[in-house]
Amino acid sequence: MTNRMVNATGAALLALSRTAEAAYQWNLPTPVTRVASEIYNLHLVMMGIILVIFVGVFGVMFYSIYAHRKSVGHKAEHFHENITVEIIWAIIPFLILIAVAWPATKTILNLKDTASPDITIKVTGYQWKWGYDYLKGEGEGISFLSNLSTPQDQITGKAPKGEHYLLEVDNPMVVPVNKKVRVLLTANDVIHAWMVPAFGVKQDAIPGFVRDTWFRAEKEGTYRGQCAELCGKDHGFMPIVVEVVSAEKYSAWVGEQKQKLAAAADDPNKKWNLADLKARGEKVYAANCVACHQASGQGVKGTFPALDGSQLANGPRGRHIEIVLNGKRGTTMAAFGKQLSDTDIAAVITYERNAWSNRTGEVIQPGEIGSARK
Amino acid sequence: MSAVIDSGHAHDEHAQGPYRGIMRWITTTNHKDIGTLYLWFSFTMFLAGGTLALAIRAELFRPGLQFWHPEFFNQLTTMHGLIMVFGAIMPAFVGFANWQVPMMIGAPDMAFARLNNWSFWLLPVGALLLVGSFFVPGGATAAGWTIYAPLSTQMGPGMDFAIFALHIMGASSIMGSINIITTILNMRAPGMTLIRMPLFVWTWLITAYLLIAVMPVLAGAITMLLADRHFGTSFFNAAGGGDPVMFQHIFWFFGHPEVYIMILPGFGIISQVIPAFSRKPLFGYSSMVYATASIAILSFIVWAHHMFTVGMPTAGILFFMYATVLIAVPTGVKVFNWLTTMWRGSMSFETPMLFAVGFIFVFTMGGFTGLILAIMPIDIQLQDTYYVVAHFHYVLVAGSLFSLFAGFYFWVPKWTGRMYDETLGKWHFWLSMIFFNVTFFPMHFLGLAGMPRRIPDYALQFAGFNEIASIGAFGFGLSQILFLWIILKVTVLGRGEKAGQRPWEGADTLEWTHLPSPAPYHSFHEQPVVG
């Protein structure tokens, strides 16, 4: 009977600790790259040193508080200034610092060494999503955007939250295991930061400049991170997901992506009808515009302008095309010409000019966007 | 000529008193009145900034968006930072300087009495602009207290309000610093050589130099930002030949000394309180002065450790890492000195001493995490996570704020002539200490687990510690209402036992040995002589 009770308690405790583990993750994630394990160990060493100093310093302090109180009748001694003691307590910390600076320096040299990668991927930060372009190595030419895939209902509490709430995307970055991946970072609008803790990688993405970092993942799996530099309204909603797969699976994924790219390539001279283009535009709008201008087209008063009934979406189309292509300086409105194809831009403008109460009836053909770009 | 001197005499003999009512405060040139104004102003801003903090913690109590839109949440975090740094902590220390520096060096008042009035009355103007920016179209700036470009060039008019507010508050700080330096260098009583000055005066002298050196740098950065926003310049815009990272370099060249501006006077207060309640002189007075000066000098060559993830060249990273860890040496010297001062003393634990000992305990923890963050590879994991949030709240709340609390309880008998309520003071200490740690200790774990800072919503593995932190934050916030009551009781209501000239037997600076409690409106008509 005792046995059964022990078992039952054990099972209950195990269940409890599992949920606790989920809700109370408290340490650096398990490292899967050499750099990340070096960082993990450096942190352990530092914690060890700190713990020893902590016990030493506060052992002395609390002993003193206990023993040298007026209320227990301790009389103050009046010693002060002792050059020897003061030199010793300056030099010992100095030596400890040199001892930790050495391994830290080695790790820095290692993590800055981005030479001779197997695969090079350019990562671009956008407000508020990531873009991935495979530049060199197997998979060259693959290019896609990666958006948060957590449904809005989960965020607003209308639906229960899933296991990977806020850490899931529609198109994850996929890389092969045990290959050196060099990541080139840049941004389209403001500074973002690309972070994957399990790889020991965090690098700012700076608009107009290219920075680089690298990782070699030693274990297959799905690794998650988030944007780490405040980048505006949806800073908390642009996660990073990297899938590390075997070489075979990676080749298969590359083949699949290439086929998809070929299939998705639009004929820029195709003539679209209103219904088809508007339907496509609605999807583009949901992926790119809805965060600011809202699904209702009403925007956010005082911050993001409304499109529904607006001068822009009902007036001359040239101005509308120009704003979508080139953005608006000094505001969050991005230059989507750099992100989207002619067909997608034509579609989203057509949608905006025919959605909600907007009834222009105009169809913007991709060719028009192409000529506006020139 | 002699007529002028004569009329001066006649004026001196005339009974001098302040105006009555509100005009007393608007026109005052008295260092004690101005000190009081600074302290009430900063306490008001502290409550305002605290309210914003509670709005942040309410949203983060549970995952999901409950109360605020993400853009308003960003306004909350930004304004919490700006108000606490520029409205609460900095003016509070200037308030202490106004009250204490003249009394501690035996001077009758500050050197530039009218400038002193002006430096205070600029502050409410700056504060109105800052807080008022919540009500302009688009709301307050949401670019973080660091207002990094180019995010800050995207903001609405709230950003311009913040820029002007910072300009005004910066001007106020510079004038205050000039006043403090001139007072300390020129108005010391005979015999009060520099190396005999109380440590609080020393730390403020060094801090004032830091302020004069870096406030213009901030002014430059935000003016360039203003030009980028409105006049078509491209200082921080790559498309026009500028560089967004340059903003960070300039900002942190101001920002890192700024961090020490907010802690050095606190070191000074602690260095007065610990010896007084240990009934024993400070162990190493001159090494404390040298340590303070070293920290101030080092603060100018470590700024880029705030930017380890921008992608600096290896040599730059190594330089800034080595320089940063060096700061541990003078900081260690300070902590060791406080400990050896306590050692074999005859300690008693009234509220000022409780806060001072609490300060040493939690500030040292903030120092430890600072050391961890200084190691660049570890910083790669922790930069821009809650670990950093935990770290700087350990040094700013448990450091600066607790030292301000200690200073208030220590000097309020001299200011008001009455003792504060000791029982309530002890409650204030224990509640603040416990809830502070409940709030901020779990944030270390959140940061290690990878939760970015400045996000309104988070993944489920962060839920547990966020809940604890939010509970702690509300406890900490409510404990400060108790502090408000303690202040009102001893000041406005004038309740509490009468304080003697020297209520703390171990306190031996001029304000305790030469002036009655409360200190007279005009103190040191005749210069004391320091033996």
- pLDDT tens profile B228-247: 999 999 999 998 999 999 99
Please report the pLDDT score of residue A80 as a whole number. Answer: 82
Q: Do B452 and A228 touch (CB under 8 A)?
A: yes
Which of 423-482 (B) contact A at CB < 8 A?
445, 448-450, 452-465
Is the model's pLDDT at B421 over the cut of 60?
A: yes
Tokens for B64, please give them: 């999901």
For A230, which residue in chain B has the nearest alpha carbon? Answer: B454
Q: Tell whether B384 is within 8 A of chain A (Cβ).
A: yes
Please report the pLDDT score of residue A10 as a whole number. Answer: 53
- Cα angle A135, A141, A143 (rounded to 5 degrees) comes to 90
> Strand A119-126's sheet: what is its strand order?
A143-146, A129-136, A119-126, A181-187, A211-215
* Tens-binned pLDDT, residue by residue, of chain A (374 aa): 445 555 555 555 555 554 555 578 889 999 999 999 999 999 999 999 999 999 999 999 999 999 999 999 889 888 888 889 999 999 999 999 999 999 999 999 999 999 999 999 999 999 999 999 999 999 999 999 999 999 999 999 999 999 999 999 999 999 999 999 999 999 999 999 999 999 999 999 999 999 999 999 999 999 999 999 999 999 999 999 999 999 999 999 999 999 888 877 777 777 888 888 888 888 889 888 888 898 888 888 777 888 998 888 888 888 899 889 888 877 888 888 888 888 889 899 999 999 898 988 888 888 888 888 87
Q: Do A108 and B321 touch (CB under 8 A)?
A: yes
A274 C-beta neighbours (distance < 10 Å), count? 13
Which of A50, A68, A189 has its CB closest to that of B346? A68
Is the model's pLDDT at B3 over the cut of 80?
A: no
Mean pLDDT of B19-32: 90
The single residue listed with the structure tokens 């973080």 is: B144
Please report the pLDDT score of residue A290 as a whole number. Answer: 85
Mean pLDDT of B451-475: 96
Please report the pLDDT score of residue B14 as a whole number. Answer: 44
Please report the pLDDT score of residue B11 as a whole number. Answer: 42
For B346-363, the pLDDT digits (tens) are 999 999 999 999 999 999
In which band, very low, low, confident or very high, does the pLDDT at B293 lie, cut at 50, 70 and 90?
Answer: very high
Residues β-bridged to residue A173: A242
Q: Tell whether B368 is within 8 A of chain A (Cβ).
A: yes
Q: What is the mean pLDDT of chain B?
A: 94
Alpha helix ranges (H) inside B232-350: 244-261, 264-278, 285-298, 314-326, 328-342
Give the gap in angstroms from C-alpha A300 to the nearest C-alpha of chain B.
9
Which is the catalytic residue, given B141, B271, B400, B432?
A: B271
B498 part of the active site: no
Following CA atoms B438, B439, B440, B444 in sequence, which dihedral angle do they give, to the nearest 10 degrees? 80
Please report the pLDDT score of residue A303 as a whole number. Answer: 79
Which is the catalytic residue, given B32, B57, B280, B306?
A: B306
Please report the pLDDT score of residue A31 as a whole number. Answer: 96
Which of B244, B329, B345 has its CB closest to that of A207? B244
For A158, which residue in chain B has the nearest alpha carbon? Answer: B64
Which is the catalytic residue, given B172, B351, B400, B491?
A: B172
Give the gap in angstroms from C-alpha B94 to the nearest C-alpha of chain A.
30
Tell me the pTM: 0.89
| Alpha carbons B318 and A19: distance in angstroms, whole number | 41
Phi and psi angles of residue B413, each rounded to the nearest 5 degrees, phi first: -60, -35
Average the pLDDT over each of A55-59, A258-262, B413-417, B463-467 and give the range with the smallest value: A258-262
For B115-165, the pLDDT digits (tens) are 999 999 999 999 999 999 999 998 999 999 999 999 999 999 999 999 999
CB neighbour burial string for B306-319, b if at least 16 within 10 angstroms, e if fewer: bbbbbbbeeeebbe
In which band, very low, low, confident or very high, does the pLDDT at B16 lie, cut at 50, 70 and 90?
Answer: low
For B508-531, the pLDDT digits (tens) are 999 999 999 999 999 998 889 887
Answer positive or negative: Cα dihedral of B128, B131, B134, B140: positive
B71 part of the active site: no
CB B103 within 8 A of CB B515: yes
Please report the pLDDT score of residue A265 as a whole number. Answer: 75
Give the gap in angstroms from C-alpha A333 to the nearest C-alpha of chain B.
9
Percent of chain B topping pLDDT 90: 94
Q: Do A228 and B69 touch (CB under 8 A)?
A: no
CB A286 within 8 A of CB A314: no
Provide ipTM, 2 decimals: 0.90
Label residue A179 exposed, middle or buried (CB < 10 Å: 0-12, 13-18, 19+).
middle
Could you give the 3-state DSSP secondary structure of residue A7?
helix
CB A300 within 8 A of CB B142: no
Please report the pLDDT score of residue A12 as a whole number. Answer: 53
One-letter amino acid at B137 equals P
Q: Do B450 and A197 touch (CB under 8 A)?
A: yes
Average the pLDDT over each of A304-308, B424-428, B441-445 and give the range with the smallest value: A304-308
Strand pairing report for A173-176 and A240-245: parallel
Is the model's pLDDT at B450 over the cut of 70?
A: yes
Please report the pLDDT score of residue B4 as a whole number. Answer: 38
B260 part of the active site: yes
Is the model's pLDDT at B326 over the cut of 50?
A: yes
CB pairs under 8 A between A and B: 303
Residues β-bridged to residue A134: A121
The single residue listed with the structure tokens 């609460």 is: B88
Please report the pLDDT score of residue A4 as a whole number. Answer: 57
Q: Do A331 and B154 touch (CB under 8 A)?
A: yes
For A236, which residue in chain B has the nearest alpha carbon? Answer: B455
For B393-411, the pLDDT digits (tens) are 999 998 999 999 999 999 9
Which of A139, A203, A159, A90 lies closest to B335, judged by CA? A90
CB A194 within 8 A of CB A225: yes
